[in-house]
Structures are given as structure tokens and as C-alpha cells.
């Protein structure tokens, strides 16, 4: 399909917003596919009838939303990115990725049994510390650093750890986590995190701290995971509570 671009129209809002809308429709409609390279800035500006400064404002907004990526150099330019993976929380990641039609995997960086560190004491005196890079279609999307109660998962480190740990625990009849409390906050990738995820140091990431519990209510996992901000987003549905007083709380007349 041919990408047709028309000059922005006066009276229809800011020029940069019109450009954003036009390009986003092309992205959503499949006229621009992941990996496609957009025309050069000079050509785009001429086709939209705007200055390059206005065009860059629109491209910058789309880049911030993860729809485009820009690079400099001989082989640089503006490219369409892969759509972000929408996750309902970050636990049970393998099952979620499969539900999105994405192949899930993991690359183990380290797996050892050690004494519990501060913050892990609720798991018991010994933990299994497992650090992995989580993969989606072979691409790194998260750095997972988990500690698991050693007495709850004896022999776990002797197993293959390149798949879903929860599914592995289930097959072994271990105390599978059934509930998790997750705390999310924005952060910037540290050097070690950037190297593991294949991104630049200081790139936006999402930090997730998780405590998971067994069916008996026992804490069995503590983890600190880092998700790539350019490849993932968390989506959840919440109930909107009214702040108006109920009839039973209404003042008497």
C-alpha cells in the first residue's frame, strides 16, 4: 500500500497534532509496518507543508509513545517500532505472552542458593536466587531477579529454568504462587540492566517489585524486575467508586 500524505489543513488544530494523527492512522491501518523506514524529514515536511521544526515535534511525540524510533548516522532515520506488549500485571509472564501470540522464553544469567538478604527474610533463612532475561519472540523485554523460598522448592535449581518457573513449580507439585502484590514505578536503566536488555544506559524502564504468596498465604517469592519501557505497558481495569454519600449517609432534613 502507498503512504499518501496531504498538507495540513488550517483551522483543524495545531499542525503537529494533525501530523501525529495522520501518521498514527497509517500505523494502525497497516500502511506502515514495524521496521518500515519513513521518508526523510525534508520530504515529509514538504509533503505536509510544514517546517522541519513542526515535523520534528510530531515525530518526537510519536517516539515518546513508542510508535517510532529515530537514529542518526549513515543508516539512521525514522523507523516504525514493534507495538508494545500489553500486560495485565507482570506475573505469569509466559502465559500472558502466549495469550498475545508471542513465543515466551528466558535466558538464565545466574541461579544459586544463598542466605536471604535484607528484604528477603520473610521467605526463610535460605533462598534460591535466579536472575534471567525474559524473551518475547527471542527479544529481551525484561530482566527478572527473583528470590524463592529454598525449603518450598527443593531441587528447583537442578531443573531447566529457561521456561515458565510457575509452570515448572506446578509440574513438580510445589507451592505455586497464587497471589502477588506488585509495586510499579518508572526508572532509568542502570548499566548492567541496559547491557542485559540490549538498550542504552538511562533508557526508560519500568521497575516492578513483587511479593508472591502460596495458597496457604505464605510468602514464597520476592523479585525485582526491570521491564523495557519501549516494549511493554501495563493495562488494568479498575472500579470507579462514587465520592457522593450513599442514601444511608445522607444528612437528615
Q: Which domains, from first to last, does the chain contain?
A: 15-80 (1.10.10.10), 85-234 (3.40.1410.10)
Terminal Cα distance for the chain, rounded: 68
pLDDT tens-digit series, residues 215-251 = 999 999 999 999 998 888 888 777 787 666 554 454 5
Cβ burial of 80 (10 Å; 0-12, 13-18, 19+) is buried
How far does Cα 168 stand from its chain's mean position? Answer: 23
Predicted confidence pLDDT, tens digits, the chain (253 residues): 467 788 999 888 999 999 999 998 888 888 888 888 898 999 999 999 999 999 999 999 888 777 888 887 777 789 888 778 878 877 778 888 888 888 999 999 999 999 999 999 999 999 999 999 999 989 899 999 999 999 999 999 999 999 999 999 999 999 889 999 999 999 999 999 999 999 889 988 999 999 999 999 999 999 999 999 888 888 877 778 766 655 445 454 4
pTM of this structure: 0.70
Instruction: Give the HSE-up count for residue 130: Cα atoms under 13 Å, Cβ half-sphere.
Output: 24
For the stretch 32-41, pLDDT in tens is: 888 888 989 9
Sign of CA dihedral 218, 224, 227, 229: positive
Taking residue 126's Cβ as centre, other Cβ atoms within 10 Å add up to: 14
Q: How many CB atoms lie within 10 A of CB 242?
A: 6
Buried b / exposed e along 38-76 (16+ C-beta atoms within 10 A):
beeeeebbebbebeeebbbbbbebbbeebbbeeeeeeee
> Which one, of 168, 183, 169, lies nearest residue 223 by Cα?
183
Strand partners, 181: 211
Residues 6+ away with beta carbon under 8 Å from 55 = 16, 19, 41, 44, 45, 48
CA distance 32 to 208: 32
Residue 16: C-alpha distances to residues 7, 12, 54, 55, 58 (Å): 11, 11, 6, 6, 5
pLDDT at 230: 83
**pLDDT at residue 194, rounded to an integer:** 95
Q: What are phi and psi of 192, to 5 degrees?
A: -65, -35
Amino acid at each position: 500500500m502507498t503512504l499518501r500524505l496531504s498538507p495540513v489543513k488550517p483551522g483543524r488544530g495545531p499542525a503537529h497534532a494533525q501530523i501525529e494523527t495522520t501518521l498514527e492512522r497509517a500505523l494502525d491501518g497497516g500502511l506502515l509496518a514495524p521496521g518500515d523506514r519513513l521518508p526523510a524529514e525534508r520530504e515529509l515536511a514538504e509533503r505536509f507543508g510544514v517546517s522541519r521544526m513542526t515535523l520534528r515535534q510530531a515525530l518526537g511525540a510519536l517516539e515518546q509513545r513508542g510508535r517510532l524510533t529515530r537514529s542518526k548516522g549513515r543508516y539512521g532515520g525514522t523507523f516504525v517500532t514493534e507495538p508494545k506488549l500489553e500486560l495485565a500485571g507482570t506475573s505469569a509472564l509466559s502465559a500472558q505472552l502466549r495469550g498475545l501470540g508471542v513465543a515466551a522464553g528466558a535466558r538464565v544469567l545466574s541461579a544459586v542458593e544463598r542466605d536471604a538478604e535484607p528484604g528477603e527474610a520473610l521467605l526463610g533463612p535460605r533462598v534460591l536466587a535466579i536472575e534471567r532475561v525474559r524473551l518475547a519472540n527471542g527479544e529481551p523485554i525484561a530482566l527478572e531477579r527473583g528470590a524463592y523460598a529454598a525449603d518450598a522448592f527443593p531441587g528447583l535449581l537442578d531443573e531447566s529454568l529457561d521456561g515458565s518457573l510457575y509452570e515448572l513449580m506446578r509440574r513438580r507439585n510445589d507451592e505455586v504462587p497464587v497471589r502477588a502484590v506488585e509495586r510499579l514505578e518508572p526508572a532509568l536503566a542502570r548499566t548492567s540492566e541496559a547491557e542485559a536488555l540490549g538498550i542504552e544506559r538511562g533508557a526508560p524502564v519500568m521497575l516492578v517489585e513483587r511479593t508472591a504468596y502460596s495458597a496457604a498465604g505464605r510468602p514464597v517469592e520476592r523479585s525485582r524486575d526491570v521491564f523495557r519501557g519501549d516494549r511493554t505497558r501495563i493495562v488494568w481495569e479498575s472500579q470507579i467508586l462514587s465520592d457522593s454519600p450513599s442514601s444511608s449517609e445522607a444528612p437528615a432534613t
